[in-house]
Structures are given as C-alpha cells and as structure tokens.
C-alpha cells in the first residue's frame, strides 16, 4: 500500500517537473522578444539583405552580450515565431513588463538601425516600427528621436 502511494506521488512530482520544464521552453525570453521584433522589420520588405542580417546579428550580440552560437539559436527561434505571429503584442508586452522607457527607446532605435542597414528605408518598415513603438508606449517625439539617432548612426558608418 505504501509503495502505491509513494509511486503515485513520485509520478505526480515527475509530471509537475515535466510541465514546468515545458513551460520554461515555451516561455519567451526578453532576447527572443527583441529578436522577433527586429526580424519583423527585416522581413517587412520581403528581401533579406546581407547587410540587414549582419546588422541583426551584431545588434543581438552587442545588446545582450551573446556568443555567435547563442545569436544563431535565438535567430532560428525568432524567425519561426515571427513567421507564425499574428501580432506583436505577446512580444511587446513582455518587453513593457521588464524594460524601462529608456530601454524601450533603445529597442526602437535598434529597429531603425536594422531598417537603415540596407541603405534604404521602405515605407512598410517605417509602418512596422511605428506600430511597435506605439505598443512599447513611446510618445511621438521619442519615436522621431529614435529615427533621427539611427539615421545619424547609419550616415556616420556609411562614410567610414
């Protein structure tokens, strides 16, 4: 009788541990949320340029202090989530919960950097960044300031 009770509780604990592990695997990390938003900007214009892909990898490496292998893993997950996402809310809400306004402004600046990376700004890229900025609760002047900052960064690097 005690063996059956013990086996029941062991099975219950194992099921609970498995459920917890599955939830951790499906939970969105901040890195993945940011990567999805960056991928959305890159995917907006339908042509992935090498410059945009390089910019995306560099941004993730610098922003989150990741190794190239970690960036590669995050990008695989981010592209999959980006292709299957119906909206941005699940990603922006996580960012809003954990990032300050200054951090969210920095994220929108990074979105602009990806958009400018190929040398041209498509209106669809601008539209997507505007939607994301609204979901991140940026005011219009903050949105414009991020665009100006990113464009100045792009122009400076283009001259070099």
Q: How many CB atoms lie within 10 A of CB 59?
A: 21
What's the pLDDT band for 80 if we cut at 50, 70, 90? very high
Q: Is residue 135 a contact partner of residue 89, using CB atoms and an 8 Å limit?
A: yes
pTM value is: 0.78
Domain positions in the chain are: 29-159
Q: Torsion angle, CA of 149/79/89/121, rounded to 10 degrees?
A: 30
Which residue would you say has higher pLDDT here, 113 or 19? 113
DSSP classification of residue 134: H
In angstroms, the CA 47 to CA 143 distance is 25
Residue range 27-56: mean pLDDT, rounded: 84
What is 29-159's CATH number, 3.40.50.300, 1.10.3680.10, 1.10.10.10, 1.10.3720.10? 1.10.3680.10
């Amino acid at each position: 009788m005690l063996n059956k009770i013990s086996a029941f509780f062991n099975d219950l604990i194992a099921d609970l541990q498995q459920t917890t592990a599955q939830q951790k695997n499906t939970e969105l990390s901040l890195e993945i949320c940011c990567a999805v938003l960056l991928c959305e900007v890159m995917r907006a214009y339908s042509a992935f340029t090498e410059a945009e892909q390089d910019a995306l990898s560099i941004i993730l490496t610098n922003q989150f202090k990741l190794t190239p292998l970690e960036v590669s893993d995050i990008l695989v997950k981010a592209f999959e989530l980006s292709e299957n996402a119906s909206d941005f809310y699940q990603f922006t809400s996580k960012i809003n919960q954990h990032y300050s306004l200054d951090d969210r402004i920095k994220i929108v600046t990074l979105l602009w950097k990806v958009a400018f990376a190929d040398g041209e700004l498509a209106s669809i890229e601008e539209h997507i960044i505007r939607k994301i900025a609204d979901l991140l609760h940026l005011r219009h002047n903050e949105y414009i300031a991020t665009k100006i900052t990113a464009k100045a960064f792009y122009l400076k690097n283009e001259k070099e």
